[in-house]
Amino acid sequence: MAIDQSLIGKKTEIYQYEVEKGHIRRFVEAVGDDSPLYVDEDFAVETAFNGLIAPPTFATTLTMGKESPFDGIEGFEMRRVLHGEQEYEFHRPIRPGAQYWVQSEITNVFDRKGNSGAMTFIVVETRANDIDKQPVVTCKSTIVYRQSL
């Protein structure tokens, strides 16, 4: 399947995401991060953050199990997808108990030749805003779509 720049601008619907303490706890256990800043309220309240926050890579969970901008693209095969790059821009910490409005958008599509053949790079930007529409985090993910397996 050829993927072209006509996908640029394709967005998911905006959805609400509530951050739960238990979700943060399970996440830090899974990644092996033992910082008390994420799970110990007594410790966290004494820091510059003045309370619990989520670890930076927790932002990746904002899209798990949600609509993808690739949904509905005829012929798009997830088995051809490789994770290429991930970056985060934090406007403020992600906090337990907070509710965010989240939306993903395809912001760039470009082709490259590699040793294994043609590849298409697709950049997806996910933005999470608080209930007052103020930015919390912007995640940029670059995936590599292999034209041949």
The domain segmentation of the chain, as residue ranges, is 5-19+55-146
Residues contacting 142, CB < 8 A, separation 6+ = 84, 85, 86, 121, 122, 123, 124
Query: Splitting the chain (149 residues) into consecutive groups of 10 residues, what average pLDDT does each group show?
Result: 82 95 96 96 97 96 89 85 94 97 96 85 96 96 88
Instruction: Tell me what pLDDT residue 103 has.
Output: 97
CATH number for 5-19+55-146: choose from 3.40.50.150, 3.50.50.60, 3.40.50.620, 3.10.129.10. Answer: 3.10.129.10
Instruction: Tell me what pLDDT residue 15 has.
Output: 95
Instruction: Tell me what pLDDT residue 65 has.
Output: 85
In sign, the C-alpha dihedral spanning 124, 79, 82, 119 is: negative
Instruction: Tell me what pLDDT residue 37 has.
Output: 97
Find out whether 10 and 106 touch, Cβ atoms under 8 Å.
yes
CA distance 91 to 89: 6
- The enclosing H or E element of 44 equals helix 41-44
Q: What is the pTM of this model?
A: 0.88
